[in-house]
Amino acid sequence: MSEKTKMTSARCIAFIGAFLVLGGCASYPGGVHPADSSQKWGYTGSTVTYLPDEAGPRLEDAVAGQTVQVGDTPWGVATALVVESRYFAASGKRCLAAEMSAESKEKKPVNVCEYANGTWGATKAIRHSARSGGAK
């Protein structure tokens, strides 16, 4: 094998190794935890935090401006959602844009969607704010 071929092979192996290491870190569940306390509000180790079953009927009929009590969640015992709007996700799921609050913590934007078997789940929402000039 020539010197040029050995060098090219070494680069390919190094590239593949780096790719595997980075890919493993990115896909490891719970491998990345928010450092900023304002980002920890809804971190449960999952992309979706499922809400109690008893909240389902209240969320199905919720309208914009309504406050919906969803009960005991990872965010607190008295979690409430203030519905901003209803929409259909690209996947066809029924969803709500809302603000979540629990135990006197600052309100945080969430997307709440209906999943399999009528289960509702919340994810952190990234929304543009005209007042702040950026995402919140």
pLDDT in tens, 35-63: 444 444 455 556 888 899 999 999 999 99
Same domain, 63 and 9: no
Contact (CB, 8 A) for 81 and 110: yes
Main-chain dihedrals φ then ψ at residue 105, nearest 5 degrees: -85, 160
The Cα 127–Cα 93 span in angstroms is 19
Q: Give the chain's domain count.
A: 2
pLDDT of residue 27: 43
Q: Bridge-partner residues for 75, per DSSP?
A: none
Same domain, 78 and 56: yes
CA 72 to chain CA mean position, Å: 18
- State if pTM tops 0.85: no
Cβ neighbours of 17 (radius 10 Å): 10
Cβ neighbours of 34 (radius 10 Å): 12
The closest alpha carbon to 99, from 114, 79, 119, 77, belongs to 79
State pLDDT tens for residues 2-21.
666 666 766 767 666 655 65
Same domain, 5 and 65: no
Same domain, 122 and 55: yes
Same domain, 91 and 117: yes
Same domain, 93 and 125: yes
pLDDT mean across residues, the chain = 75
pLDDT of residue 22: 54
Same domain, 46 and 7: no
Better-predicted residue by pLDDT, 86 or 3: 86
Find the domain containing 68 and state its range: 37-135
Same domain, 8 and 74: no
